């Protein structure tokens, strides 16, 4: 069976707080991490945001201003409920045809004395991302830059997990306040095509391959942790403008420029009443139906398949804005 889906590249325009709720540790409100300690954005925090993005891009009338719910029964807006499922309480209309994948944090910018900032990734992260790329690009890669990016990620995935590398050159680079000798990772793909692809994802990625350092798996989580932003916040008493008792807490954020890889996969055949206009009289949405819905969805996202949405909340204090490149 051929899987139908969309690859999504993400870029943090502002710091992101994909939170886990309160924690008993030093950080009261930490970001999400996988079992090995690597930052991740779980699909549970993305699906609702993507559904709202879909509705907003189609028309302002798709969202009820009083309840905030999507008007699934509106013919123009029904595509969002076909893709992501009905609103709560709407009965058995069928599940959404899309499975939203977790977003892998592929590379995090960290400070460097000599380069300003570097991007850090590791073989483990590359292997994890490669699984997503293999599924979503199984029908062949049409985008030249994406073809070379996949080739680079494949190369990184199977390097020695105990060594430091930079692409095509060994360098004496500064990571935080330490200088480290890296070995050259030989790569015969076109780096300029990768950088041209990624500069459309986010400006800090325009020279991504020149700033990328592949670090050993056994230190990657500690080094990535140095790029995580921690802010201690306080709630003030309105009357005297001083801190109220027990109202001091610390939050974590992924930094601006964080590079993420995720995707959407259609689970077919699936019965969903809101997909009816794509089903040509059939009872279920099959592979061809899913292809039509996804093309329509991509077409509604805007110029050059770029979209913006809020992830993890905190938008009232200028956090959570992410840019998506839909491929």
Task: Report pLDDT digits (tens) over 55-105.
Answer: 888 887 888 878 878 988 888 888 999 999 888 877 678 888 889 999 999
DSSP 95: -
Answer whether residue 22 shows pLDDT above 80.
no
User: Residue 302's pLDDT is what?
Assistant: 61
Task: Report pLDDT digits (tens) over 157-213.
Answer: 999 999 999 999 888 998 888 899 999 999 999 999 999 999 999 999 999 999 999
Contacts 24+ apart (CB under 8 A), 178-181: none
236: left (phi over 0), alpha (psi -120 to 50) or beta: beta
Residues 307-313, mean pLDDT to the nearest whole number:
87
Q: Which residues contact 49 (CB under 8 A, 6 or more apart)?
A: 309, 310, 311
Answer whether residue 10 shows pLDDT above 90.
yes
Task: Report pLDDT digits (tens) over 62-76.
Answer: 888 788 789 888 888
User: Residue 262's pLDDT is what?
Assistant: 93
Answer whether residue 270 shows pLDDT above 90.
no
Whole-structure pTM value:
0.91
Answer whether residue 37 shows pLDDT above 70.
yes
Q: Say if residue 1 is exposed, middle or buried (CB neighbours under 10 Å; 0-12, 13-18, 19+).
A: exposed
User: Residue 244's pLDDT is what?
Assistant: 65
In the chain, what percentage of residues exceed pLDDT 90?
46
Q: Say if residue 162 is exposed, middle or buried (CB neighbours under 10 Å; 0-12, 13-18, 19+).
A: exposed
In the chain, what percentage of residues exceed pLDDT 70?
93
Residues 297-321, mean pLDDT to the nearest whole number:
81
Residues 292-304, mean pLDDT to the nearest whole number:
77
User: Residue 313's pLDDT is what?
Assistant: 80
* pLDDT band for position 243 (cuts 50, 70, 90): low
User: Residue 1's pLDDT is what?
Assistant: 53
Residues 255-282, mean pLDDT to the nearest whole number:
90
User: Residue 28's pLDDT is what?
Assistant: 83
Task: Report pLDDT digits (tens) over 117-163.
Answer: 999 999 999 999 998 888 888 766 678 889 999 999 999 999 999 99
User: Residue 29's pLDDT is what?
Assistant: 87
Task: Report pLDDT digits (tens) over 210-226.
Answer: 999 999 999 999 999 99
Say if residues 86 and 78 touch (Cβ distance below 8 Å). Answer: no
- The mean-pLDDT minimum among 150-154, 252-256, 271-275, 311-315 falls in 311-315
Q: Please report the beta strands in the chain, taking only residues with DSSP state E, as ranges in sequence order.
A: 4-12, 40-41, 98-100, 103-112, 116-121, 165-167, 172-175, 178-181, 183-185, 212-214, 229-236, 243-253, 259-266, 306-310, 321-326
């Amino acid at each position: 069976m051929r899987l139908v889906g969309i690859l999504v590249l993400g870029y943090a325009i502002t710091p992101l707080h994909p939170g886990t709720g309160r924690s008993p540790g030093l950080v009261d409100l930490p970001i999400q991490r996988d079992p090995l300690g690597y930052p991740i954005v779980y699909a549970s925090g993305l699906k609702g945001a993507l559904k709202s993005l879909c509705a907003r891009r189609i028309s302002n009338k798709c969202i009820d201003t009083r309840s905030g719910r999507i008007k699934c029964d509106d013919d123009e807006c029904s595509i969002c409920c076909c893709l992501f499922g009905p609103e709560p309480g709407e009965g058995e209309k069928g599940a959404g045809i899309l499975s939203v994948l977790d977003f892998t944090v592929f590379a995090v910018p960290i400070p460097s004395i000599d380069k300003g900032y570097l991007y850090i990734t590791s073989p483990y992260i590359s292997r994890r991302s490669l699984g997503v790329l293999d599924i979503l690009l199984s029908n062949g890669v049409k985008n030249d830059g994406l073809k070379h990016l996949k080739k680079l990620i494949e190369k990184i995935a199977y390097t020695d997990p105990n060594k430091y590398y930079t692409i095509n050159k060994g360098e004496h680079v500064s990571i935080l306040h330490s200088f480290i000798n890296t070995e050259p990772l030989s790569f015969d793909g076109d780096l300029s095509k990768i950088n041209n692809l990624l500069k459309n994802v986010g400006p800090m990625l325009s020279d991504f391959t020149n700033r990328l350092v592949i670090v050993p798996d056994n230190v990657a989580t500690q080094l990535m942790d140095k790029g995580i932003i921690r802010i201690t916040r306080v709630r003030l008493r309105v009357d005297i403008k001083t801190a109220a008792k027990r109202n001091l807490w610390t939050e974590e954020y992924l930094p601006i420029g964080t590079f993420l890889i995720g995707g959407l996969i259609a689970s077919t055949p699936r019965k969903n009443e809101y997909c009816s206009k794509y089903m040509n009289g059939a009872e279920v949405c099959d592979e061809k139906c899913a292809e039509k819905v996804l093309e329509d969805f991509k077409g509604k996202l805007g110029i050059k398949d770029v979209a913006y949405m809020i992830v993890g909340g905190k938008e009232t204090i200028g956090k959570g804005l992410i840019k998506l490149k839909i491929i």
